[in-house]
Amino acid sequence: MVCDACQTNPATVYLTQIVEGKMQKVNLCDLCAKAKKVLDPTGFQLADLLLGLGVNTELEKPQVETAPAPVEVAMLKCPACGFTQADFKKTQRMGCSECYETFADSIMAPLRSNHKGSEHIGKLPARQFRRVEAQRRMGALQSDLAKAVKQEDYEGAAQIRDAIRQLESQLNAPRAA
């Protein structure tokens, strides 16, 4: 078996990691393993736990490869604020709330290792959610209305229209004091 990184020397270091439930295997020769500091347990653990972002991808897709994928990962940049993966590694912070979408794949591992769970079950900002809920309900009512009209169920359609009007007045009501 040859080294995944340099593709020339025989591999002597076999690394298996479970990342987000998926097994990843990397085979490296002595030189490449040293160069990537895989043999230094403290360095590796730190990178994995704290830097999280991109570390695994780097190992999986060595730089020597000419495939376009690694370039894409390295260049991953938030369209909203211009923050890059490299910036994250440097600052350990996100650039803006959109970054959570942009880097969604890479933040799950650090989130899991730092918290009790990976889903929020606490407080919701009520107003924002009232609106989201109301908008969802509005969409559902409107398709119900279209269905009722199509089926010539005018009594049902009238009821639905009343419900829509009521919801509209709620949505347009001034924000609570």
Partner 1 sequence: MRFSAFISGPVAARPAGTHHDIVISSRVRLARNVKAHPFPGWARKADRLAVLEVVKPAVEALPQMEDAFSEYLQDLSATEKQILVERHLISREHAAKSGGSAVVMNREQTLSIMINEEDHLRMQAIQPGFQLKTVFKSIDEVDTRLEEKLDYAFSEKLGYLTACLTNVGTGMRASAMLHLPALVLDDKVNQVIQAVNKIGLAVRGLYGEGSEAMGNLFQISNQTTLGEREEDILGRLNKVIEQIIEHELNARAALLQRKTVTLLDQVGRAFGILRHAHSITSKEALNLLSFIRLGIDLGSFPTGHRQQIDDLFTETQPAHLQRTSPTKLQAEDRDALRAETIRRKLADLPAPEPPRAAS
For position 120 contacting partner 1 by CB under 8 A, the verdict is: yes
**Tell me, what amino acid is at 85?**
Q
Contact 58, 4 (CB under 8 A): no
For position 49 contacting partner 1 by CB under 8 A, the verdict is: no
Closest alpha carbon to 33 in 6, 55, 64: 6
For position 97 contacting partner 1 by CB under 8 A, the verdict is: yes
For position 92 contacting partner 1 by CB under 8 A, the verdict is: yes
Contact 134, 168 (CB under 8 A): no
Toward partner 1, which CB reaches closer, 22 or 175? 175
Distance of closest approach, residue 75 Cβ to partner 1, in angstroms? 18
For position 83 contacting partner 1 by CB under 8 A, the verdict is: yes
Closest alpha carbon to 88 in 68, 105, 66: 105
Distance of closest approach, residue 134 Cβ to partner 1, in angstroms? 15
For position 21 contacting partner 1 by CB under 8 A, the verdict is: no
Toward partner 1, which CB reaches closer, 7 or 113? 113
3-state SS of 77-125 is ECCCCCCEHHHHHHHCCCCCCCHHHHCHHHHHHHHHHHCCCCCCCCCCC
Q: Which stretch binds partner 1 (CB under 8 A): 13-21, 41-49, 90-98, 135-143?
A: 90-98
CA pair distance 154, 79, nearest whole angstrom? 48
For position 125 contacting partner 1 by CB under 8 A, the verdict is: yes
For position 116 contacting partner 1 by CB under 8 A, the verdict is: yes
Number of residues that bind partner 1 (CB under 8 A): 33
Please state the φ and ψ torsions of residue 101, each to the nearest 5 degrees: -80, -50
Residues that bind partner 1 (CB under 8 A): 80-81, 83, 87, 91-97, 100, 107, 110-111, 114-128, 175-177
